[in-house]
């Protein structure tokens, strides 16, 4: 979905697919050229703020998934799914940021244009979330089966039961220690 933005950001005089905008104007009667673009550091700051607000969550989740893939409690299949999913999510997030930056550098001439372009790219990338929610609403059991949601929940239930048993054992040990302390104090 982002390929047209990458193509549009490429500098080419002969290519009609290029959206590159020239902001430098050089009058014929002067040796000096002027930048007529109104884009400044405020526009770029808002761009970074928008990107961080929308993309940081996905980047953090991707990194967390990679970290979860190293946990001993998961099966090899689950570890592999976490690792691949985390790498893909992180790379897509970085790619979206990169495409947004090069596209805005190529065509944004004002602070409002950089905001509009950023929001447009982020909206296009949110469409996949809308499709996922639509399919999940239509056929939840299929999405659960394909995504392995049931399998993951079963692993969590097994882990929870193991932790409950461990807590009960620790409670028993603490009660024994308290009983010994009570007997020593008497």
Q: From 47, 60, 56, select the one nearest 120 (Cα to Cα).
A: 47
> What is the rounded average pLDDT of the residues 158-165?
77
Other CB atoms within a 10 A radius of the CB of residue 132 amount to 12
| CB contact at 8 A, 39 and 105 | no
- Are 18 and 29 a contacting pair, CB within 8 Å? no
Is pLDDT larger for residue 136 or for residue 9?
Answer: 136
Q: pLDDT tens, 140-155?
A: 887 777 776 655 555 6
Sign, CA torsion 69/93/56/151: negative
CA distance 52 to 57: 8
45-89: per-residue pLDDT in tens? 999 999 999 899 999 999 999 998 998 887 888 889 889 999 999
Residue 136 has pLDDT above 80, yes or no: yes
Q: Is the dihedral of CA 39, 119, 9, 59 positive or negative?
A: positive
Distances, alpha carbon 102 to alpha carbons 13, 47, 63, 118, in Å: 17, 12, 24, 11
């Amino acid at each position: 979905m982002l390929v047209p933005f990458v193509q549009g950001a490429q500098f080419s005089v002969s290519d009609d697919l290029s959206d590159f905008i020239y902001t430098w104007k050089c009058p014929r009667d002067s040796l000096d050229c002027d930048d007529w673009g109104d884009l400044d550091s405020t526009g770029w700051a808002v761009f970074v703020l928008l990107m961080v607000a929308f993309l940081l969550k996905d980047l953090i989740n991707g990194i967390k998934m990679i970290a979860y893939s190293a946990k001993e409690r998961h099966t090899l299949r689950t570890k592999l799914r976490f690792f691949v999913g985390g790498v893909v999510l992180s790379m897509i997030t970085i790619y979206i940021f990169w495409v947004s930056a090069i596209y805005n550098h190529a065509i944004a001439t004002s602070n409002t244009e950089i905001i509009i372009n950023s929001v447009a790219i982020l909206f296009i990338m949110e469409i996949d979330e809308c499709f996922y929610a639509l399919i999940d609403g239509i056929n939840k059991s299929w999405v659960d089966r394909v995504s392995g949601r049931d399998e993951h929940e079963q692993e969590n239930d097994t882990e929870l039961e193991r932790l409950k048993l461990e807590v009960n054992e620790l409670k028993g040990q603490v009660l024994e220690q308290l009983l010994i302390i009570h007997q020593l104090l008497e």
